[in-house]
Structures are given as structure tokens and as C-alpha cells.
Chain A
């Protein structure tokens, strides 16, 4: 339970650790060009999308679809489901871009919340239709994914909150991190998380409780 953070992060499959390393390189980001897209770029594009600028939606799609598809896959695992959800999400981004408030949430957070909500909706519908939604929370998934270290411009689009959260998630023990992420991203209960991770209910409860306590300490009072 007291493994040190570095050791925890040496687990190669752990994507939070990957992100963590990428978002906060130890040296200065000298390769970053001034014209790289930033969250501000996304805000401007959303603004244009709100006035039904199709070219802006395309640009937004080019900048964010890989990140958002990754999220949809993370929640749904099945590719064809994730593809449908990504479509749904961009249809919604087009329709509701005018409701986006730059002061209240970062653009990537806003779009990712749309994807998560569409994905959870989709999951509920599949369950209602009797489909087996028992998708594995698969670390093996990370093995099949292209490493995302290579794309610093994508990291530039992350909100500051996400960068900070990545650091703090990286400080949790791997099992705490996984339980917290699973519960949040898939909106799963303690017992559902316990089923997926194949550990007793009490264990999951304590992982999540301790994980949340550590997150609070690390993130501070906001």
C-alpha cells in the first residue's frame, strides 16, 4: 500500500503515468512552437461552430477527435460503439457549441464531458437492449494503442486542471487509480468496480476512499 509513486509509475501499461510524463517533461518544452494549438484555439473554434461554421467544426474535429475517440474507447471498449458515440458527440458539439461558457470550463473538458455522457447513454441503451455490456476494463487495451508520447501539441490542448489531475492521479497507487478512474469514467458502483477488477467489495471501497483522500490532498482546495 505504500509503494512509492515512481515505482508505481514504472508499470508501463498505466496510461496515467504516461500522460504524467508527457504533460510535465522535466526540461523546458523547447520543441513547442508558438503557433501550436492551445485551449484558446479550441475556444475560438467552438465560438465559430456556434455560428454554424462547418470549417471550424472540421478543424475542431481534426484537433480533438483522436483524444475524444480514445476516451470513448476507454469507456466502451468496443470499437464500433465508440465510433458511433464519437459521431453523436460531434453532432452534439455542433448543436450546443453556443452553450459553451469559456469562463466555466476548459474547452477540452466540455467536449470530453459530452463524449462521456454520450458513451454512458449508449452503454445504458445497450444494457436495456439486453446486449452484454460487460466490457473488460482492459489494461491490455493500452498495449494495442499507439503511444501518445509523440504528440506534444495534443498535450497543449489539455486543460490546466487535467494536467494537474494527471500529476495527482500518477501519485495514487495503481489499484487506487484504476478503481477511481473506472468508477468515474464508466459511472460504475463499488460492486461493479469490484466485479471488473475481481477483488472483494471492501477492498474496492477502501481503494476508492483512500484514492479520493490522496487526490484531495494533492489537488488542494481548488
Chain B
């Protein structure tokens, strides 16, 4: 069955799928079809993002005071604190006091892992939307405190850089106001030792343009020429200090992503 023949049907099913009311055989069929249909997956991810905040709505209720001590006990935090004090003089071994198990629910949520390119693009858009205030997108007057807005960056462009398996590894944003690029490493992004990672803009024609060598770890922020000249960005692994060739990477390109206007 071609779901796209009926206007609005894909979106309606995606909404009901995400909400959880599409059940049984219909749910399985929809999942099967969506595996070969990026448009459906995109619709589902969009709905996931729309609905995810539902959990934040609702009244707050103060939990009883005995809950925190119970959490502390379960995590052995009291002992950890004592050990830490006793061992303050010597370096702390890297072994974690708590064994980190794989959570089963975590694996089931494609929301968190294994994002398709489309999904990461949507996530990037969602981030931009959240930064730029959703109120400007939707026809809704949503007053926000003015000081908060003034401090926020004005994000003009965004790119999610993914590895070859489509895992999002870096998030790049371009601030119109300060002409700064911010490169945020997402978890799972690792810096190779004794190498530098370099950010490149890939123009439609001509050779790649270096936007900068990334400092090791964490979030990098630096002034750069506007990224809007480049439809794509890439990160390559280079000798320490950056590529010896000014006209392009010499090492392997590890992450790539499209530049998306945030407006």
C-alpha cells in the first residue's frame, strides 16, 4: 500500500505511531514500510520531537524527604564520599564506584541512538528552533523575558556532523551576531591521540577551506568566515597543528554534515 497516495495519511499515522495509539498489526506494518521510506521516518522523528516535551507539563509535587537518602544508599554515595575524603591525597583510580549496566529501555529508543541523517538534521533544526524561540515559528504570541533573549546567540546556520555510520558526533552552530562558530562534541566523539581535528567548509566548487583546527575535547568556539558559503562541512584528522596543505585535508575525513539555515 502506498501511504503517500493519501494526503496527510503518512503524517497522521506517524503522529499516532509516536503517540503510541497505533497498535498491533497496523503498528508493525507501519514500521516495516518506514524502514524503506525516509519520508516516513522523518515524519516520525518530527512527531517524536513535538511530543517529547509532554512529560514536562504538569504539576510539581514535592517528594517525601526519605527519597534522597534512599537514592544515596542505592548508589553508595555516602561511602563514595568517605572514600574520596580518605583518598584525597592519592590519585583517584579511574574505576567507577558504580557498575554501569546497559539499560534495556535505552536501547529501544531510536530517539537517542542510531539516528539517520534525516533525524539528526531534524534534531539540529529542533535545537535551532529552541534557541530562536519556537514562538517565532508558530503563529503564537509567546512573550519571553527580554534579558534572556538578549543573552542568547543568534544562530544563523547549524550543521550536525555525523560519522560514516550516521551517528551524530559534532554539532556546529554559527552565531550571526558574533561571527563565531561553535563546535560542540557529542558523546561518542573521540579525539585521536597525537593528531589534530580540523574543520573544513566544502564549497560547491573549488577546494575545501579550513575553518579552524579544533582544540582537544569539549566545545570549541572561534571566529570564522561565515559558514553560509559552504553547503557542507567536514572534519578531518590531521597532524598536530592542522593540515600541511592549505587547500584541503591530508588525513581521513571522519565527519561530514550539511549546513542548514536556521531561519
Contact = CB atoms under 8 A, between A and B. Distances in A.
B88 interface: no
Contact of A25 (B51, B59, B135, B143): B143
Interface in A166-195: 166-169, 180-181, 183-185, 187-190, 193
B237 interface: no
B221 to A, nearest CB: 14
A187 B27 CA distance: 14
B49 A222 contact: yes
A104 B186 contact: yes
A91 B100 CA distance: 10
Contacts, number: 233
28 contacts: A15-B57, A57-B71, A70-B60, A83-B67, A86-B67, A95-B98, A96-B100, A103-B184, A105-B111, A117-B109, A142-B59, A154-B60, A158-B56, A160-B134, A161-B49, A161-B134, A162-B57, A164-B134, A164-B138, A165-B57, A184-B51, A212-B19, A216-B11, A216-B50, A219-B50, A220-B139, A221-B137, A222-B122
B110 interface: no
A73 interface: yes
Contact of A65 (B11, B63, B139): B63
Interface string B35-70: 000000000001001111111111111111001101
Interface of A: 15-16, 18-19, 24-26, 28-29, 32, 34, 38, 52, 54, 57-58, 61, 65-67, 69-71, 73-74, 83, 86-87, 90-92, 94-96, 98-106, 108-109, 112-113, 115-118, 121, 142, 145-148, 151, 154, 158-169, 180-181, 183-185, 187-190, 193, 208-209, 212-213, 215-216, 218-222
